[in-house]
C-alpha cells in the first residue's frame, strides 16, 4: 500500500468517527449550539412545507441536519421505491414515504446504526415505514437497478470518494431513474487547514 493510500484511509477513519459523533450529537441534543442550520429553523429556511413539519415526529424535525430540500425536485410518485442516502434521524425518509404511499418503499442508508434505529423509530411514530440499512454510500448495500429515485441531503459532500458515490447511485437506479440531491459546493479552493479539519469536513 502506498503512503498516499495509507494517509487517505487514516483520514477517512478519523472523519467517520467525527461524523458519527457530530450527527449523534444533533440527534441527542438538538437544542445545542452548532455552526450549521438544523432542526425546524433549517427545514423552514429550505422551503419544507409547514404542514409536513407539523405532521412529522418532533424528534425527526428537531434533529434534521440537511442543507437544502431534495423533495422540491424528486417528483416522487405513489408506488415508487426511493433510497435516502445518509438518512440521519429520518425526516427526509418520512416525507419520501408519505409521497410514495403504502404501495411504495423507502430504504434509508446510514453508516451509523444508531441513526438507522432513530430513523426507523421516528418513521413508526409517523405511522409510516422505512427500512434503514447500515452501510456506506461508497458501497451502497442495495442491489443493482432497485430504485426509481435516490434522494440525499447534505451527505455526498462528506465523502472522500464522491465519484464512487455517484457510480454507486447509478448502479442502484433503475434505467431512467432520478437522483435528487442537495449539497454544498465551494466556488473557491478551500485552505488546507479547513480541508484537514475533520470537524469542518464532517459538518
Ligand X SMILES: C[S@@+](CC[C@H](N)C(=O)[O-])C[C@H]1O[C@@H](n2cnc3c(N)ncnc32)[C@H](O)[C@@H]1O
Binding site for ligand X (CB under 6 A): 19, 23, 64-66, 86-89, 91-92, 109-112, 115, 136-138, 153-155, 158-159
Smallest gap from Cβ 141 to ligand X, in A, equals 10
Q: Least distance in Å: CB of 192 to ligand X?
A: 22
Residue 84 C-beta: closest distance to ligand X, Å: 6
Smallest gap from residue 162 Cβ to ligand X (A): 10
Nearer to ligand X, 130 or 177 (CB): 130
| Least separation in angstroms between CB 41 and ligand X | 13
CA max distance for the chain: 53
Instruction: Closer to ligand X by CB, 91 or 177: give it.
Output: 91
Angstrom CA distances, 75 to 56, 71, 177, stand at: 20, 7, 11
Point out the residue whose Cβ comes nearest to ligand X.
Answer: 86
Positive or negative: CA dihedral 150, 47, 131, 18: positive
Residue 169 vs 177, nearer CB to ligand X: 169
In the sheet with 147-153, reading across from the earlier edge strand, the strands are 131-134, 105-110, 81-85, 147-153, 173-182
CA distance 155 to 179: 13
For ligand X, the closer CB: 3 or 158: 158
> In the complex with ligand X, which residue's Cβ is closer, 101 or 114?
114
Q: How far is CA 4 from the centre of its chain?
A: 28
Of 176 and 185, nearer to ligand X (C-beta) is 185
Per the CB < 8 A criterion, the answer to whether 20 and 112 are in contact is yes
Residue 80 CB, shortest distance to ligand X, in Å, is 18
Residue among 203, 111, 114 nearest 157 (CA): 203
Amino acid at each position: 500500500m502506498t503512503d498516499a493510500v495509507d494517509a487517505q484511509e487514516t483520514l477517512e477513519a478519523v472523519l467517520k468517527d467525527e461524523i458519527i459523533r457530530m450527527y449523534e450529537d444533533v440527534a441527542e441534543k438538538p437544542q445545542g449550539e452548532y455552526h450549521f442550520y438544523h432542526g425546524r429553523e433549517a427545514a423552514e429556511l429550505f422551503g419544507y412545507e409547514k404542514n409536513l413539519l407539523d405532521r412529522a415526529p418532533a424528534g425527526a424535525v428537531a434533529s434534521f441536519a440537511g442543507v437544502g430540500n431534495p423533495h422540491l425536485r424528486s417528483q416522487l410518485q405513489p408506488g415508487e421505491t426511493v433510497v435516502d442516502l445518509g438518512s440521519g434521524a429520518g425526516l427526509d425518509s418520512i416525507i419520501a414515504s408519505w409521497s410514495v404511499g403504502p404501495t411504495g418503499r423507502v430504504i434509508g442508508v446510514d453508516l451509523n446504526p444508531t441513526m438507522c434505529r432513530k430513523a426507523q423509530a421516528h418513521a413508526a411514530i409517523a405511522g409510516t415505514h422505512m427500512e434503514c440499512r447500515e452501510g456506506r454510500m461508497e458501497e451502497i448495500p442495495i442491489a443493482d437497478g432497485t430504485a426509481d429515485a435516490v434522494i440525499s441531503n447534505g451527505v455526498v459532500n462528506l465523502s472522500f470518494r464522491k465519484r464512487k458515490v455517484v457510480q454507486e447511485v447509478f448502479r442502484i437506479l433503475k434505467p431512467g431513474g432520478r437522483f435528487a440531491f442537495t449539497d454544498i459546493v465551494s466556488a473557491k479552493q478551500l485552505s488546507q487547514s479547513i480541508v484537514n479539519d475533520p470537524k469542518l469536513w464532517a459538518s
